[in-house]
Chains A and B, each alone.
Chain A
Amino acid sequence: MIATPQNGSGTIETQEICRHYTLGAAVIRAVDGITLSVKAGEFVALLGSSGSGKSSLLNLIAGLDRPTSGSATVDGHRLAELSSEELARYRRESVGIVFQAFNLVPSMTVAENVELPLRLAETDRGERSERVRRALDQVGLGERLAHRPSELSGGEQQRVALARALVNSPRILLADEPTGNLDSRTGVEIMKLIGDCNQRGMTVLLVTHERPLAEAYATRLLFLADGKMVAEQPNTPNRAESGAGA
């Protein structure tokens, strides 16, 4: 890939980005002309009710989907210009993604799940186990390497998913309702881990509909409704406060 000066910048920018779904005659404007800019090291929360287009926007930024119009420039890559091969490479090198549904491979052990991105990135075999262990240590699961996802609690599964997103050391973490399937206490644990990532310098884009969680960790809040950005406000995170409530 062409190394641009911005390569690995950790920034996210979108220009009038749109994602329309055509269902027969009807056109669903899931994302409808959003322009945003996230600086390196920021923790931005995307808030909005269900169906407001949060996931659709995140998928565009993650390079899992292509916009109907507009463009996104993430970590120095103009995504619209990348081939599908280059986009795959962008996904494994520049961003880490965490989903609401954990999305672990059930037939693989914890260690194998975390190793997957290293396999895809063709990392040397000798290096892999050490990196898997370090990523799992970061999320406090260094002792559960040989377990299957089904043997873990929801919170633990999401921590494995987070370790998997971090193992390739991307500059950007994209999280789509990572706490949506968890009770509030384990949700807070996950948010703390994501907050730690941000503290170490990662850019975080968090999709959530739980405003208190966003306010506890994010440095900026963006509000979506019907595919459009309706409000934007800076926020001073108060991590301690959220620990009790939420």
Chain B
Amino acid sequence: MKAPDLLELAVRNLRESVLRNSLTTLGIGVGVASLVAMVSLGIGLQQNTTRRLERSGLFDTVMVTRADAGGFGPRRRNASTAENQRVLDDNARRDFAALPGVLEAVPDIRTVAQIRYGDKPHRAMVAAVPMSAHDREAFENLQGSFFSSGSAGEAILQKSFAEELLNLSPEPADESEAGKPSPELQPLLGKELVMSYAARLSAPKAGSAQIASGASHSPATSQEASAPANSTDAELNPLLAAFSVAPETRTLRIVGILTADPDAVRGVGRARVFVPQDFAEGLQLMLPSDLGSDAAAGERTYLEISVRLRHPEDVPRVEESIRRMGFNAFSILDASRSVQTAFRIFDIFLAVFGSLALAVASLGIVNTLVMAILERRREIGILKALGASDMDVKLLFFVEAGAMGVVGGVLGVAMGWTIGKIINIGVNFYLHRQNVPPQTLWLVPWWLVFLAVGFSIFVSFVSGLYPAARAAKLDPVRALRYE
């Protein structure tokens, strides 16, 4: 028989026992719905968490320090051999940026500065933030706006520092208030701050006069050639020869106030004032690394460079490349990986429970079709007497099972989608009352729609296997015996 005829006959057979077949189909629908609801809940939770993890900036970033520096990561025994040791300078930065998959390599620039608001001086750690941090979670609930450009003289303040500037007593940490703009702090936006800091001025060539002599707190000396008077001088001399330090002031305009703390992981070293990266680099801030022995070479060096990648998957590869260059590299990807594994197990768990309902539904198909064989014994006998082959009969039952699978699958996806939607609305209603921003806990991706319908059809076919084989084997002589 040709496919359209098979389909036509199958549909008319299904319509013959509308109630029974509808109930069976509904059973499949409920099974598919539970599967879809379960899996989509898993996917939703996973995406939600993964997105948060990704936006935290912890998982697509490799932090690089000098091989002989302490701090993160495993220390390698031979890391500090002379030939292996490289300086974390702008050359290194360019090398990192040139690695495939790297979005940018940003040196950590932070220093303690005096911040003047009105006539009151304050002390605060100032840190540079690249423009790419705009989409980071920490800057999500920014009161005001992000920097207008990388080189703008603008500042984003930590909320507690903003409160300090206005002489407000710090608000008690109220969970429900998180992420909400504070009207008391609003007047600060657009106001100006004056930042005073220690600038590192490049030294003139050997023998020439010191330009910023008035500014430096040590008298200028010539090169290493001049013998140091004591041991302290012996250490300082090369540094002093390489650059001098001068106090500088800059005016910053306040553009935003942060409720979240992007620097939380740094503990005591965390910054309370953030400025754009390019702007900060232009300031020639005196950095702690400037006191290291490498600084004598005259080049700027950094304590740490953050290498941000396009895709978190590239982290291990880039990490390895950087290690091979002779640096310390560290990332939190491993932590992320175990989170992914946990979610995969969670998904499988949910899918198994969802499938259980579908398995029960598939028994319904077997039952319905076996009943249909008993009822349609004579009809099958007639078909065979008229020349239907075993395959025709088998296919007819298959198509009937498949049709129930298609309808049940589509129905089930629709039901599952609705169930998920209701869960979402319910949860968000609750979250809203708890003053938590809305979350997408539940997500039905297109692949799940097709997979669920496909799985439903597959299950139906498998369920139809036995009834179809049984119908095909039916002896027409017995079926048509006239009693």
Contact = CB atoms under 8 A, between A and B. Distances in A.
A89 B389 contact: yes
B390 A85 contact: yes
Question: Among A62, A65, A90, A107, which residue has the most Cβ atoms of chain B within 10 A?
Answer: A107
B389 A85 contact: yes
A105 B379 contact: yes
Interface string A117-149: 101111001000000000000000000000000
Nearest to B9: A119
Given A99-B482, A120-B1, A84 B385 contact: no
B16 A107 contact: yes
Question: Among A88, A122, A125, which residue has the most Cβ atoms of chain B within 10 A?
Answer: A88
Given A100-B482, A105-B379, A119-B5, A92 B390 contact: no
Contact of B385 (A93, A100, A103): A103
Contact of A59 (B4, B9, B382, B477): B477
A91 B389 CA distance: 10
B386 A85 contact: no
A208 to B, nearest CB: 14
Contacts of B389: 84-85, 88-89
Contacts of A88: 384, 387-390, 392
B316 interface: no
B2 interface: yes
B477 A65 contact: yes
A64 B477 contact: yes
A91 B477 contact: no
A186 to B, nearest CB: 18
Interface in A154-190: 164, 168
B5 to A, nearest CB: 4
B385 A91 contact: yes
B383 interface: yes
Nearest to A104: B382
A225 interface: no
Given A85-B391, A119-B9, A120-B1, A91 B386 contact: yes
B387 A93 contact: yes
Interface in A215-246: none
B312 interface: no
B387 A89 contact: yes
Interface in A45-91: 59, 62, 64-65, 84-85, 88-91
Nearest to A161: B382
B386 A64 contact: no
Contact of B386 (A101, A107, A116, A125): A116
A65 B480 CA distance: 12
B387 A121 contact: yes
B476 interface: yes
B480 A92 contact: no
B134 interface: no
Contacts of A92: 386-388
Interface in B1-48: 1-2, 4-5, 9, 12-13, 16
Question: Among B2, B4, B386, B480, which residue has the most Cβ atoms of chain A within 10 A?
Answer: B386
Contacts of A104: 382
**B interface, how many residues as a size bin?**
20 to 34
A97 interface: yes
A144 to B, nearest CB: 19
Contacts of A100: 482
Interface string B342-384: 0000000000000000000000000000000000001101111
Contacts of B384: 64, 88, 91
Nearest to B379: A105
Contact of A64 (B13, B379, B385): B385
Nearest to B392: A120
A88 B381 CA distance: 12
Interface in B279-309: none
B390 A101 contact: no
A84 B390 contact: yes
A120 B386 contact: yes
B373 to A, nearest CB: 15
Nearest to B5: A119
B4 to A, nearest CB: 8
A114 to B, nearest CB: 10
Contact of A117 (B378, B386, B476): B386
A113 B392 CA distance: 17
B480 A99 contact: yes
A89 B4 CA distance: 19
A100 B390 CA distance: 24
Contacts of B392: 88, 120
A207 to B, nearest CB: 12
Nearest to A122: B2
A93 to B, nearest CB: 7
Contacts of A168: 387
A107 B16 CA distance: 7
Nearest to A100: B482
A119 B390 CA distance: 15
Contacts of A164: 386
Interface string A94-113: 00010111011101100000
A223 B53 CA distance: 91
Given A84-B389, A103-B480, A107-B16, 5 more contacts: A64-B477, A85-B389, A97-B385, A108-B12, A116-B383
28 contacts: A62-B385, A64-B384, A64-B385, A64-B476, A65-B475, A88-B384, A88-B388, A88-B390, A89-B387, A91-B385, A92-B386, A92-B387, A97-B386, A99-B480, A100-B482, A101-B480, A103-B382, A103-B480, A104-B382, A105-B382, A108-B12, A116-B383, A117-B387, A119-B1, A119-B2, A119-B5, A125-B4, A164-B386
Interface of B: 1-2, 4-5, 9, 12-13, 16, 378-379, 381-392, 475-477, 480, 482
What 7 pairs across the A-B complex have the smallest Cβ distances?
A: A92-B387, A88-B389, A91-B387, A119-B5, A101-B482, A120-B387, A117-B386
